[in-house]
């Protein structure tokens, strides 16, 4: 990541769960390649660990980059401490946009739709976008959730910023 | 409505009047259901075809009875027969 301006976002008030904290539960439409259905995060982590990936709205290049990398690393469905790992995206985009992203990027994971950014707020990572009045979204962030407890946490500190995929992979391997 | 609580799954399209008709009869009869929203494009509705043999919505799957059904008129009739409240049927409103 060079050749473009990286902006300091230390002014954003972040209050995200840390390793060992409980992951705030929530219900939102969960989108797969065929349909969407209201689903609670707890329903997911009761079945297996969840890698919760907050990213900018679908169509922004970071969303594309992040999903390309995750898809190529083959994390979805990896055998874990209990059940299989579920990679779950979250953005403010609508279910229709999530379906398009899933199709265009060949994503085999599911995404929550959080248009009001209340989930981002519950995770203490919501921020107002400059130049898009009234639009709030999550800072890029990744939480690995095992039985409701955060096992790995990362929140962007500049803009744009990308997860450390090797670090996440190590956390997945440690489950 | 949590996934584990409702026996009826309703496949629906946002703002589809026939789907809303089914929603209304389910709600009127206090029948728990969960919604699965599909896309307007017929070609994107393979999940509905897999369960019902057709791509039309609304469609329901009732795990209580093993019934899968399409067409709103059929579904309304089914829901009222299977879950209908006798008093409402005879016009005695609360």
The SS3 call for residue B48 is helix
User: Does A99 lie at the interface with B, CB-CB under 8 angstroms?
Assistant: yes
Interchain CB distance below 8 Å, B37 and A40? no
CATH number of the domain within which B12 lies: 3.40.30.10
Residue B18, chain A, CB below 8 Å: the answer is no
Total of domains in chain B? 1
**Could you read off the pLDDT of A93-122 as tens digits, one per residue?**
999 999 999 999 999 999 999 999 999 999
Which among B66, B3, B70 is positioned nearest to B32, based on CA atoms? Answer: B3
- List, in order of start, the domains of chain A with CATH numbers: 29-174 (3.40.30.10)
B94 belongs to a structural domain? no
pTM: 0.91
Domain that holds residue B58: 8-85
Which tens digit of pLDDT belongs to each residue from A122-170?
999 999 999 999 999 999 999 999 999 999 999 999 999 999 999 999 9
Contacts of residue A37 in chain B, CB cutoff 8 Å? Answer: 3, 34-37
Overall size of chain A counted in residues? 175
Alpha-carbon Rg for chain A in angstroms: 15
CB contact under 8 A, A40 and B35: no
């Amino acid at each position: 990541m060079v050749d473009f301006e990286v902006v300091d976002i230390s002014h954003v008030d972040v209050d995200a769960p840390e390793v060992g904290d409980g992951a705030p539960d929530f219900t939102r439409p969960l989108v797969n390649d065929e349909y969407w259905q209201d689903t609670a995060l707890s329903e997911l982590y009761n079945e297996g660990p969840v890698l919760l990936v907050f990213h900018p709205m679908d169509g922004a290049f970071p969303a594309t980059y992040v999903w390309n990398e995750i898809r190529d690393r083959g994390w979805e469905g990896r055998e874990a401490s209990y059940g299989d790992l579920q990679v779950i995206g979250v953005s403010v985009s609508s279910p229709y946009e999530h379906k398009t992203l899933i199709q265009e990027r060949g994503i085999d994971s599911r995404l929550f739709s959080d248009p009001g950014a209340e989930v981002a707020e519950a995770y203490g990572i919501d921020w107002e976008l400059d130049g898009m009045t009234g639009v709030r979204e999550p800072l890029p962030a990744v939480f690995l959730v095992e039985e409701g407890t955060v096992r790995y946490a990362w929140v962007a500190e500049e803009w744009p910023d990308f997860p450390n995929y090797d670090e996440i992979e190590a956390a997945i391997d440690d489950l | 409505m949590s996934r584990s609580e409702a026996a009826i799954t309703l496949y629906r399209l946002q703002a589809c009047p026939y789907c809303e008709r089914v929603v209304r009869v389910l709600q009127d009869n206090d029948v728990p259901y969960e919604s699965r929203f599909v896309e307007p494009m017929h070609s994107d509705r393979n999940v509905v075809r897999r369960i019902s043999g057709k791509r039309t919505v609304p469609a329901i799957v009732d795990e209580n009875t093993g019934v899968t059904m399409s067409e709103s008129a059929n579904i309304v009739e089914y829901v009222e027969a299977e879950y209908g409240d006798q008093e409402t049927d005879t016009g005695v409103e609360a």
